[in-house]
Structure 1
Amino acid sequence: MTLKKEVVAVYIDGGNTYRKLKGLGMPEKLKRFDFSAFVTHLVGGRTLLSKRYYVGIVKNFDNSDKGEKMVKSQQKFLNGLRTEGFNVKPGRIMYDGKDRIREKGVDVKLALDLVIGAVDNLYDTAIIISSDTDLIPAIQYVRGAKKKIVEYIGFANSASLGLIKESSASRLFSKPDLSQFHADKTLV
């Protein structure tokens, strides 16, 4: 009799993760964060079902050179993720006119995919890389009603106590832990 390997789905809140990494001073100049290597590390010897990256898509609303550079930079980054097998799930970005940017719909898409994957029994374990407490109701449903394992991946400088409490397991990474996932920018 062969034992079935644990199946894992990875859900990354791109904007949230970007801000947390930036708060740690990462990635360093002329480097990029290697999300594929990070996911491989998190999954370990288990079977990877999918790796999804949720992000608000940058628009050049003011037709500026800076806006165009931001659009091209994000598209290059997202195309690199797609090439590495990530399913990029786009959301919207809202500008308030005062240089404040807010993502819209990203956490809802992530929560919905998390619940659908549990209902359809696609995974045994969900790994969530986000510190957004708006995900807590979806995590509670997935754990309680569907008996799935949810691993919260956070950052030591700004861990979410709510997600730690509601998840089956949690791992917090510091800057030294994450340094192994730096890669040269030329790789993207």
Structure 2
Amino acid sequence: MDASDMGKDLEKVLLTQEQIETRLDEMAARIDSDYAGKDLLLVGVLRGAVMVMADLSRRLHTSIEMDWMAVSSYGSGTKSSGVVRILKDLDTDLHGRHVLIVEDIIDSGLTLSWLVSNLRSRGPASVEIATLLRKPEAAKVEVDVRYVGFDIPTEFVVGYGLDFAEKYRHLPFVGTLAPHVYSG
């Protein structure tokens, strides 16, 4: 699916597939440099991070393992509820491991702040964060993010793993929806 397939549902393309791919290449190079010779575990946050995790991991030259965690603070709407629940926990013991949380987007930071604290309590060597998108103006708590793909405005975005009511995750770009899609 591309932008033309969305018809009037798409307001604009914020980041093209090419921009995303270029930035992931740059992020992977930094991660490879920072974790050279270290035992790195990528922790993807389901479901949104699937695309970022897959594409970022394929660009890495560092030996990695992957695990997934599902936490929820979103309903089917466009705002974070602030209440965090673990829907699927990790299968991997974090003790002594270098953990890199891979996120699709950081909005308020509430969920991620909770997640970092939770993972740090499990005895890892380190916990860092990589995200494709960050909305600095939407932050409600300070979260130290080591690898940021793009800072974006506080708009509701879809594509590249991000959804609205479970739709649009598969788009190869990041875009904004026309208001009639989510206000009706």
* TM-score normalized with structure 1 length: 0.37
The structure where strand makes up a greater share of residues is 2
